[in-house]
Amino acid sequence: MTVSLSVLDLAPIPSGGTARDAIRNTVDLARQAESFGYRRYWLAEHHFAAGVAGSAPAVLIGLVAAATGRIRVGSGAVQLGHQTPLAVVEQFGLLDAAHPGRIDLGLGRSGQRRAELARHSGRPPAPPARVVDGLLIPPPFDFSALIRAAPHLAVQASLLQQPGAETPDFADQVDDVQSFLAGTYTSSDGRTAHAIPGEGADVEVWILGSSGGQSARVAGERGLPFAANYHVSPAGVLEAVEAYREAFKPSDVLAEPYVIVSADVVVAEDEARARELARPYGLWVRSIRTGQGAIPYPTPEEADAHVWTEEDRTLVADRLDTQFVGGPKAVADGLRVLQRVTGADELLITTITHGHADRVRSYELLAGAWG
């Protein structure tokens, strides 16, 4: 059986472009992805980044769902640290009312993880890179060091919530989302409340996670499908998948675990062209990991102008080393290794290039090679 491919789109803004360009490109890519046979199209949530237009995934989901006819459309992921479960269910209830049976509600806890990491003093020494049955597992990146080095991130996080607001535990929030959807919500003092629209909505609830921590456990214990990030945190993908499967309990949603694994991909007609298109990726990742936020996606020429230090290279090495870049067959073969080693039931492909036509072509070539 062929494992399905899906799309994760950050709505990237190219260097020299605008948010309007990014949104137009997202809608066009979604239409094209549907024609290429991709199973679902997810939109990410990012804030305070000059290079992405994905600050409101529910809005983008509505635009994409309206422009397509069959492909499932969803969030990858709504960050529950920034919104209440009621608000999220109402938004996705509206989306389901407009596009019934096509909406995925992916939930993440990045808003909570940021605060947790800022309180920690760092990690023990990172283990060396290893290869597991052909799949590279690089040393983990220390995100806590990034947060301590960029104190303005704390200010940005505070702007995403009302003053004095405290985010509840992620597991409790997921439970509230599910109870609002089911129409069974009861407050701690025994009062009921209903999300209208939202109650009874036919949405698929997903949990996204980058490690074997709470997100993986919550997804498994509640019998929900789980998305593991090889593209953001490749070092933790096997740990995340294993923790999810170990915690899994059958539910009304799933009888068995279901895992989707993400990957960064650039495909072109040949490896030389793919490498050229992928050259800006390191500079773009560097902008994120230095705390400035994703910059508008550079051209290859702009990327070549950057003078790289050894510190720069170390900062982005895990992401560059685990990006799948090349001709259609080589990339498809590499992704089959990722699928085999993780046991993924589906792969979630994210591709960024400066030129929109190159990005569309990458997805087209991969779909053709994947079969």
Interatomic CA distance for residues 235 and 165, integer angstroms: 33
Parallel, antiparallel or unpaired: strands 226-229 and 324-326: unpaired
The radius of gyration of the chain from alpha carbons, rounded to an integer in Å, stands at 20
Question: Could you report the per-residue pLDDT of 184-205, keeping only the tens digit for each?
Answer: 999 999 999 999 999 999 999 9
Amino acid at 62: G
Interatomic CA distance for residues 88 and 79, integer angstroms: 10
**Other CB atoms within 10 A of residue 307 CB:** 5
pLDDT averaged over every residue in the chain: 93
- Percent of the chain topping pLDDT 70: 93
3-state secondary structure of 41: strand
CB 236 within 8 A of CB 212: yes
Averaged pLDDT, 2-7: 95
DSSP annotation of 198: T
Residue 35, pLDDT score: 98
Interatomic CA distance for residues 226 and 105, integer angstroms: 12
Helix (H) or strand (E) holding 86: helix 85-98
Residue 325, pLDDT score: 98
Q: Sign of the C-alpha dihedral, residues 22, 23, 27, 33?
A: positive
Token digits of residue 5 = 């491919």
Question: Could you report the per-residue pLDDT of 257-267, keeping only the tens digit for each?
Answer: 999 999 999 99
Residue 118, pLDDT score: 46
Token digits of residue 340 = 């085999």
Helix axes 152-159, 110-119, angle to 10 degrees: 150
Could you tell me which residue, 217 or 111, shows the higher pLDDT?
217
Amino acid at 44: A
Interatomic CA distance for residues 222 and 171, integer angstroms: 10
Interatomic CA distance for residues 41 and 26, integer angstroms: 10
Q: What's this model's pTM, rounded to 2 decimal places?
A: 0.95
* Residue 43 Cα distances to 20, 54, 183, 271, 319, angstroms: 16, 7, 26, 28, 20
Superfamily of domain 4-307+323-370: Luciferase-like domain (3.20.20.30)
Q: In the chain, where are the structural domains located?
A: 4-307+323-370
Parallel, antiparallel or unpaired: strands 135-137 and 130-132: antiparallel
Question: Could you report the per-residue pLDDT of 133-187, keeping only the tens digit for each?
Answer: 999 999 998 877 666 656 667 777 788 888 888 889 999 999 999 999 999 999 9
